[in-house]
Amino acid sequence: MSSTDTSPDPTVHHALASDFRMATFRLARRLRSQRAIDSMSDGQFAVLAALKVHGPHTLSELAERERVSAPSMNRTVNCLEESGYLTRTAADDDRRKVRIALTPDGLAVVEETTRRRDSWLEHSLDELTDAERVTLSAAAEIMRKVADR
């Protein structure tokens, strides 16, 4: 590579991608461990969180959002419904459709899990230097940009 060549070194990109992926997975695993109910799976929590953020869904909408099959989502929804975390009701506009929504207990699980995760992360950030927090703030913006592609 000449001194005027500005093309990126593929070896450097590969190493960065690998390091970034591993660090992201490790952080995600640590955050997922902070939950209100230890026996709840990540997939079950993801359904509750999606309902909190996006409101009631049909089974097929939830399956599509979470990128799983309808039968798999049905099993997840059945378990969450039996535990009292969500309800199924006929849609007002089409009685053949069933809308799935959070119950107050389901909302409480999402809010408590979110609180625990934020608390763990805030405590971890407290242990960093000001410069490291500034770097993480910039990195968060870059991560959003990459994730939105």
Say if 2 falls within a structural domain.
no
Q: Is 127 in contact with 136 (CB distance < 8 Å)?
A: no
Within-domain flag for 63: yes
How much is the average pLDDT of 5-26? 84
Residue 43's pLDDT band (boundaries 50, 70, 90)? very high
pLDDT at res. 99? 94
Does the pLDDT at position 63 exceed 90? yes
Q: pLDDT at position 111, please?
A: 96
Its domain, for residue 131, covers: 10-147
Is the residue at 5 inside a domain?
no
Q: How far apart are CA 59 and CA 47, in angstroms?
A: 10
- Percent of the chain scoring above 70 in pLDDT: 95
Looking at the domain assignment, is residue 137 inside a domain?
yes
Does any domain span residue 19?
yes
The token duo for 112 is 């408590």
User: Sorting pLDDT into bands at 50, 70 and 90, what band is 109?
Assistant: very high
How far, in Å, CA of 66 to CA of 58, rounded?
A: 12
pLDDT at 94: 78
Residue 53 lies in a domain: yes
Domain count of the fold of the chain: 1
The interaxial angle of helices 59-66 and 42-54, nearest 10 deg, is 110
Helical ranges in 55-129 per DSSP H? 59-66, 70-82, 104-126
Angle (CA) 103-111-74 rounded to 5° is 45
Domain membership of residue 1 (yes or no) is no
Q: Is residue 78 part of a domain?
A: yes
CATH of the domain at 24: 1.10.10.10
Is residue 135 over pLDDT 60?
yes
User: Is residue 97's pLDDT more than 90?
Assistant: no
DSSP 11-60: HHHHHHHHHHHHHHHHHHHHHHT--S-TTS-HHHHHHHHHHHHH--B-HH
Mean pLDDT value across residues 53-76: 94
